[in-house]
Amino acid sequence: MPLLNGNTFTLGSLEPEGSQFNSLDLSQAEEKPKRVLIETKVKLNLDQKKWLHHEAHLELEKNLGANTWLCKLNDATAVIDLSLLRGQDFVKDARDVPLDLKIQPELKNSETKEAIHTVDIVLYEKQSNDSISQLSEDIARRGSVDIVTMAFRRENSIIRLELPQSKLSEVAMDPRVSAIEKVHELALHNNVAREVMHADVLVNNTRFRGKGEIITVADSGFDKGSMVDTHPAFAGRVKSLIAVGRQKSGQTDDRVGHGTHVCGSALGNGSSEVMGGDIQGTAPEAELIIQALADENNRVFGRSSYLLTQLLDMAYEQGSRVHTNSWGPNWDTLTEQVPYNNASTDIDNFVWANPDMVVCFSAGNDGRERTKRGHIGGQAAAKNCITVGSCDNQRPAKDVHCMHFDATGVAKGNPSNVSGFSSRGPTWENRMKPDVVAPGSMILSAKTRAASITVKENFGVSTDPLWYFNTGTSMATPLVAGCAAVLRQALIESKASASPSAALIKAMLINGARDMGKRREEQGFGRVDLNNSFTLSKYMGDTAAKGTLKTTLVWTDIADAVLQHEVILRVTVNYDNKIETKSGTLNGPDGGSVVNAVGQVLWENLPRDAIVTVIVRLDSVLLDVTKSQRFALVWSVSEQNQ
């Protein structure tokens, strides 16, 4: 079914035109509607797109799935003619955009009309200073709120304010409003892990450890907040400290302990005699940029004016191409899963515009919460990021639940188990997430030396004051970010790619991941294995009779909840005068439209003299973008001797 702002619908089920405008006179709107919903009988061809462009004066703005499109006028003097559209042979139906589809489902669950919500009013276009002034007056009138309570974000394209339940529809009536989204409070979601992930990459006697790469960690803060007096695991490798949550004071120290631990998992390089020797992250020679998110009350972002797009921009300008985030929306037992929203849009837009920027997000720690569909949402639902879940570590533990243990425990964890706390997919949009998993339980990493902090030892006892244990998808994510940095270094230094794309890094991580035999919604494509990701065997050995071919496709898509460009992966095998074909396209769990910007084909028992053809086809594309579509294709062959 089509999807708009988290709402599933069919055009035939929508209310007739006019019935939605009874709460406020439409004549008060300063602009006529510029957008319309169109459902076509089949996928649009080029001639039909040209007709829409030249005759109906419409551009395809968003693919909503199931041959349904959100279109906008391309001529300021034109008006939308529903009768003209419905009269075309290829058009099944055309409707105005209903108010109800502008409001996210979670905002419709309130039991009282007097409930007050903090919301983001997302606008179709960025506004000038003059136009935002008029628009804010209109929103204030419709919502019965004071203009001074509004915050303007993302270049005047989002207005954040508190709005009563009873006023949501009236604000949605403004034709400049694209969506009304609930604002969620954000929360912050070693060598044993390195062994599980086979993080030592050795190629032609060269060991890759992230040298020359810069990893940006957006988290609570860093150690003492000093670039000079640093935790010994990061000596000489801190490139920049940026105050985000405590913007006014400029403080970046880690008063929570979370951020320093995350940094250690990504790129720490230290040791402890009492804790077993070397303690390293997956990229122990990479440099570090810290963006300290915690405010004075240890809230993520707090009242900071920074947006995620700005954080990504700052990191990119300083040469960082890996950005890791171990935070996301708090689980709300009333509204449950968060849909794709303006934060997801920011990530997808940034990677689309900067295709070499790898963005990692933790899946979340809500795996034990009851849910109708899945847990993963918000930032982690972005198509162009790498979403990381947690598997168990193999570190000795006192009990299989990993709640309490010490360094001399009595049982080992099983890395082939998905951690119970790890948030499951699919996303609200039925997209398969997480992408991969990595060890997230019982992770030993760097401990902040901030004087005011006493780290709780809920997940293990460390006898070294510089190191402590922690558990969560927060711990798994930086391990994968470090792997991304190592892959970038290896590709650049081996001259395989001067500027590896985020799609290529994601494809390599997914292709090398080890399937743990769990559902895709739990493990994604499996547990990251760095060595397996880089040492991709293109051909079978001379003695192998059969092999297993794994082919992975990843592409960068335009921002929106539904795939805007559908790319199809097909593998054809010709052997003994027989031709077989497998598709790597990943549909939603309900078998509906393609929803994943990842495809994979696994072909076992492949005869060595078979002829293999891999086909990548662009199946659906918006009209107003270039005809080219970036993608990465990775394959490997493993031998089968029987």
**Helix (H) or strand (E) run with residue 310 in it:** helix 308-317
Is residue 287 within 8 Å of residue 213, measured between CB atoms?
yes
The C-alpha atoms of residue 369 and residue 51 are separated, in whole angstroms, by 49
What number of residues does the chain have? 642
Amino acid letter at 427? T
Amino acid letter at 183? V
**The two structure tokens encoding residue 211:** 């040298």
Going by the DSSP 8-state scheme, the letter that residue 391 receives in this structure is: E
Instruction: List C-alpha distances in Å: 70 to 39, 495, 519.
Output: 9, 43, 33
**The two structure tokens encoding residue 238:** 């801190």
**The two structure tokens encoding residue 306:** 């920074």
Residues sharing a CB contact under 8 Å with residue 509, sequence separation 6 or more, in sequence order: 386, 435, 436, 480, 483, 484, 487, 528, 533
Closest CA to 607 of 543, 546, 540: 546
Out of 136, 419, 422, 474, which one is annotated catalytic? 474
Is residue 468 within 8 Å of residue 424, measured between CB atoms?
no
Out of 96, 174, 219, 254, which one is annotated catalytic? 219
Out of 57, 198, 231, 258, which one is annotated catalytic? 258
Closest CA to 505 of 215, 192, 191, 239: 215
Output the CA angle 417-419-423, nearest 5 degrees. 125
- Burial string for 190-214 (b: 16+ CB within 10 Å, else e) reads bbbbbebbbbebeeeeeebbbeebb
Going by the DSSP 8-state scheme, the letter that residue 332 receives in this structure is: B
Is residue 387 within 8 Å of residue 598, measured between CB atoms?
no
CA terminus-to-terminus distance, the chain: 45
* Catalytic (active site) residue 219: yes
The alpha carbon torsion through 62, 524, 390, 395 (nearest 10 deg) reads -160
Query: Which residues have a catalytic role annotated?
Result: 219, 258, 474
